[in-house]
Structure 1
Amino acid sequence: MRYEHTQVGYVTGGLTLAALPLVYYAFMVEAGHLGVLGYAVLGGFGGIAVLFSSLTVKVTEQELVFFFGPGFWTRRFALDDIIGAEVVRNSALYGWGIRYTHHGWLYNVSGLRAVELTIRGEGHIRIGTNEPEGLKHALEEAMGEPS
């Protein structure tokens, strides 16, 4: 393993968890009990909090791998397919999670900093990280490029 880093999404996880008591209260005030829909909504918010609690990025000898939380939405790219890597700053309007922007796909749990990759056959993707220079350096080193 050449590089591995996990960024915790304190804000995304915290906001999602903070919504749980609000959802509970809303259902209790409206219906006096949670019911099936209430439990489903609470479970959905809890699940989202776990799934998007962190973003782990790994660079091995052959590939770049990244995933959310406990392994949700894993993406893999061969290093041979990565044409370039650039440190970028995302707009605050892009938010967090998985979304498509005019720069390509964005995978992010916190902050505005990212590494934009140009990938053969995929175009551009951005991986949010709180240490973009370290990720870029690890990718360039693994691909045999000077830093």
Structure 2
Amino acid sequence: MNRHYVHTQIGYLLIIIYSFVLAVVTYQVIISGFDLIAAWVLVLIVIVMALFTTLTVEIDEEFLRIRFGIGLIRKKLALSEIKSCSIVKNRWYYGWGIHLTPRGWLYNVSGFDAVEIVMKSGKKYRIGTDVPDELEKALCQSADIK
């Protein structure tokens, strides 16, 4: 696979929030003694951190690939099916993570900048990024969009 574009965005605020929660729960476990529920919460926080604190975007000859964290959560879009792409700003209440918004599916770990992709089928996707100009340029060139 010859990659044309690879970029990983780190969700620093998410890392800070999850680390704070992890520290609070760990402190509670230390002062209160072992608690099965607290242990499960600790495990859950570590799993969420591994899955959702980074977003990697790759473009090769055929596909746009979006991957969260360690790669268990991913999406692949065929470049030949992309109709258009443009830089957009997400509203603050769209939040972070993966979910459906009024503007289509959102994949985001930090900030409000994104590139909106419209597929030939009419489906829309927004990919959050800290380098929207670079992503839009690479995507439009790779998908041969004028």
TM-score using structure 2 length: 0.91
Please say if residues 24 and 34 of structure 1, whose CA atoms lie closer than 8 Å, have aligned partners that are also in contact.
no
For residues 3-31 of structure 1, give each alpha carbon's deviation from its aligned partner in whole angstroms, at most 9, with x where no partner exists.
110001111111111101222344566xx
Q: Is the 8 A contact 1:12 1:96 kept in 2?
A: no
RMSD over aligned CA atoms reads: 1.5
- What is residue 60 of structure 1 aligned with on the other side? 60
Structure 1 distance, partners of 2:23, 2:87, is: 38
Contact 1:13 1:50 in 2 (8 A): no
1:51 aligns with 2:37: no
- Structure 1 counterpart of 2:20: 18
**Pairwise CA distance, 1:34:** 3.2
Superposed CA offset, 1:63-119 (max 9, x none): 100101111311001101111101000111111111211111111011100001112
| 1:69-88 matches, cutoff 5 A | 69-88=69-88
Deviation at 1:49, TM superposition (A): 1.2
Are 2:23 and 1:8 aligned? Answer: no
Percent identical pairs in the alignment equals 35
- 1:45-68, CA deviations, whole angstroms, 9 ceiling, x for partnerless residues? 111112112100011011100101
* Matched positions, count: 144
